[in-house]
Amino acid sequence: MDGILPLWKERGMTSHDCVFKLRKILNTKKIGHTGTLDPDVDGVLPICVGKATKVVEYMMETGKAYVGEITLGYSTTTEDASGERVEVKKVTKAPTIEEIDHQMKNMEGTIIQVPPMFSAVKVNGKRLYEYARNGETVERPKRKAEINSFIRTSEPIFNEDAGTVKWRFEVACGKGTYVRTLAVDLGEALGYPAHMSDLTRILSGTFKASDCLTLEQVAEAMKAESIQKKLFPLEFGLKEFETMEVSDELWQKVKNGVPLPKSLFNTYSRFPVVMMYQGQATSLYDVHPTKPQLVKPTKVLRNQ
């Protein structure tokens, strides 16, 4: 069994939980997910099965899109709704729509984020959430994030009694973006502690919500012996790369991992390039690290 399974991750489960359950359902150990989703977040989680696990690293680099909700008025330990309240500053006068939209627009482009303490980022060999659970704090590394668009999608709701303002949003972003932190930083720009009160991933690379199956649907397809029809070819995980169709003559070299002259790739704008033979991705070729006039295979997907 080989291919990419776009899974709709339900809330209350970790990404690892999904992999663990799928190994049992699909009766195979060769499974990997393509980007962690927090337990409180649902949405698109592409899962690679069999030979497709070879493209996990490339799929983790792809862009993502989310819909969610931001709440001003208090922050939490986890930067989302599951955490304990940390700072409270009741909103007595709601920011205007113009102020909100202006600050959201300001956060588009390349920004710097400090990852939340409750995250999987490693510092000195330990994940930040391990420090957080022990009540420890450490200096967190700053990271660049690419925000392609960040827009408000609903009218702000001002709850005067609770001292909060909340609104829905949609964000399209690059890999490694912490949307929780985006909500916190937006609140700070508007003068209030804030947190991300809801989040759903609606896009991961080329996979969207309508492509996905739930774990229950996967189990049903497995029982009906139709699961292979539900899997996408591993080539779907390489959509962002340029491809080269390999002739029968060139295939004899490519299948044996022979370096090729870089001049063969003069029409290509970037590397790596996916080598295709008879409609299937066989390997990825990139510039040779010590011989810049050559291009060599950096990942073999199929060689027969």
Please say whether the beta carbons of 196 and 68 come within 8 A: yes
Pairing status of strand 243-245 against strand 273-277: parallel
Q: Of 276, 280, 79, whose CA–CA distance to 195 is shortest?
A: 79
Q: Could you give the CA distance from residue 229 to residue 138 in angstroms, rounded to a whole number?
A: 47
Q: Which of 2, 38, 80, 286 is catalytic?
A: 38
| H-assigned helices in the chain | 15-26, 56-59, 97-106, 128-133, 179-190, 215-223, 227-230, 248-254
**185 counts as catalytic:** no
CA 300 to CA 284: how far, in whole Å? 7
Residue indicated by tokens 């996916």:
274
Q: Position of tokens 């029809």?
A: 229
Cα 291 to Cα 105: distance, rounded to the nearest angstrom: 44
Catalytic positions are 38
